[in-house]
């Protein structure tokens, strides 16, 4: 009984692959069955997360500026060509955005669309090189779960489309995606050229949002067929729509985390900037700047010249506190400064009003 069930499953599988798929593509590379693509995707994920980082662990990161720029430029042109082929294969003037059945004929335009779909499938393998560059440059923090899932799932997902529906309604997915990749790889190419390009990359934060808009459009375009009659397989409507939904939430989570971190870093930078301004207002080259009639802690600074603060009986505690804030001096250093600090910094005294001179920060650090 069990053997019969297995035999029936095998026969059903062969019937699906050989008879129910598009006969035009069955002899094309990697189109005989899903196993080769599945093995490639699993191997990619294992290499990306385990083998690659392990091989580079004790090696120096490679500087690959030239190859990186060339690769991204090639991807820009490849994506542009794919976008053009998908347009000429139907989306420019023959296809309907409302409902578009697959043309399984040998019409030249239909064949052109089928070829464009296969090359789009092939492009998912070329994108593995993104991860290879991360590995060789030891940018392991860039090999996120989102990155691996996105690159690892796409070849398998597109394979089913090419095998059964190379064209028609679902090819809108590839049309949008290739356009997004033109923009995306243009950004990567410019970023790879070096820091001199940073002023022109202000639109970086919009890339993820751009991809999220792409997935929303894919969902709307696919799921509309659930509410209208169209000679297009409902299974692929769900296949495309759910993939777009999954990637939307993955990219949305990434966007929120990145935006949250950016805001945190901005707050930290602002806090540092404020601190630097306050410090700059008080110190210059490690000494107190000239201050006239400004309040100090627990007292008033009456005057200050040449890096020293004049002391009166009403501001001893205030100056002492201010000195501690500027440099981590001990109480003994203030009362008897000659113990730890060169006397050259403490030689200014007034007969009527003793003066404290704040030593240079570098010397303080050397002496403590």
Question: Mind listing the pLDDT tens digit for each residue in 197-216?
Answer: 999 998 888 888 898 999 99
pLDDT of residue 77: 98
Residue range 285-300: average pLDDT? 42
pLDDT of residue 14: 87
Res. 281: pLDDT tops 80: no
Between CA 104 and CA 167 the distance in angstroms is 9
Q: Residue ranges of the domains in the chain?
A: 23-273, 287-367
Comparing CA positions, the residue from 343, 336, 303 lying closest to residue 319 is: 303
pLDDT of residue 2: 83
Q: 359 or 183, which is more confident?
A: 183
pLDDT of residue 269: 53
Q: Fill in the DSSP letter of residue 195.
A: G
Question: Mind listing the pLDDT tens digit for each residue in 43-56?
Answer: 999 999 999 999 99
3-state SS assignment for residue 178: helix
3-state SS assignment for residue 234: helix
CB-based contact 116:82 (threshold 8 Å): yes
pLDDT of residue 100: 96
- Tell me, letter by letter, the H, E, C secondary structure of 5-73: HHHHHHHHHHHHHHCCCCCCCCCCCCCCCCHHHHHHHHHHHHHHHHHHHHHHCCCCCCCCHHHHHHHHH
Between CA 134 and CA 117 the distance in angstroms is 28
State pTM to two decimals.
0.70
Show which residues are catalytic: 150
Comparing CA positions, the residue from 198, 241, 251, 201 lying closest to residue 217 is: 241
pLDDT of residue 329: 44
How sure is the predictor about 3, in pLDDT bands with cuts at 50, 70 and 90?
A: confident
Question: Mind listing the pLDDT tens digit for each residue in 59-85?
Answer: 999 999 999 999 999 999 999 999 999
pLDDT of residue 168: 95
Question: Mind listing the pLDDT tens digit for each residue in 83-140?
Answer: 999 999 999 999 999 999 999 999 999 999 999 999 999 999 999 999 999 999 999 9
pLDDT of residue 317: 55
């Amino acid at each position: 009984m069990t053997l019969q069930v297995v035999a029936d499953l095998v026969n059903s599988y062969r019937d699906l692959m050989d008879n129910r798929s598009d006969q035009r593509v069955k002899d094309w590379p990697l189109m005989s069955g899903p196993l080769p693509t599945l093995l490639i995707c699993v191997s990619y994920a294992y290499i990306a997360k385990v083998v690659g980082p392990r091989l580079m662990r004790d090696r120096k990161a490679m500087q690959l500026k030239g190859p990186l720029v060339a690769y991204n430029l090639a991807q820009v042109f490849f994506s542009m060509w794919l976008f053009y082929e998908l347009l000429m294969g139907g989306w420019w003037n023959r296809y309907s955005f409302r409902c578009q059945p697959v043309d399984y004929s040998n019409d030249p335009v239909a064949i052109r669309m089928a070829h464009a779909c296969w090359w789009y499938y092939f492009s998912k393998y070329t994108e593995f090189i993104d991860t290879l560059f991360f590995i060789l440059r030891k940018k392991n923090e860039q090999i996120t779960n989102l990155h691996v899932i996105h690159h690892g799932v796409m070849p398998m997902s597109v394979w089913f489309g090419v095998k059964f529906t190379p064209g028609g309604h679902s090819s809108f997915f590839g049309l949008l995606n290739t356009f997004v990749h033109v923009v995306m790889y243009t950004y990567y190419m410019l970023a790879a050229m070096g820091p001199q390009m940073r002023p022109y990359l202000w639109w970086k934060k919009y890339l993820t949002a751009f991809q999220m808009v792409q997935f929303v459009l894919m969902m709307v375009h696919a799921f509309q067929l659930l509410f209208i009659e169209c000679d297009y397989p409902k299974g692929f409507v769900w296949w495309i729509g759910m993939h777009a939904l999954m990637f939307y939430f993955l990219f949305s989570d990434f966007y929120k985390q990145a935006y949250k971190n950016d805001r945190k870093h901005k707050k930290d930078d602002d806090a540092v900037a404020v601190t630097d301004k306050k410090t700059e207002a008080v110190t210059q080259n490690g000494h107190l700047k000239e201050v006239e009639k400004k309040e100090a802690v627990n007292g008033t600074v009456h005057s200050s010249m040449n890096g020293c603060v004049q002391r009166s009986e009403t501001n001893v505690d205030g100056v002492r506190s201010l000195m501690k804030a500027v440099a981590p001096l001990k109480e003994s250093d203030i009362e008897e400064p000659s113990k730890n600090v060169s006397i050259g910094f403490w030689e200014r005294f007034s007969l009527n009003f003793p003066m404290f001179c704040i030593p240079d920060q570098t010397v303080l650090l050397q002496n403590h």
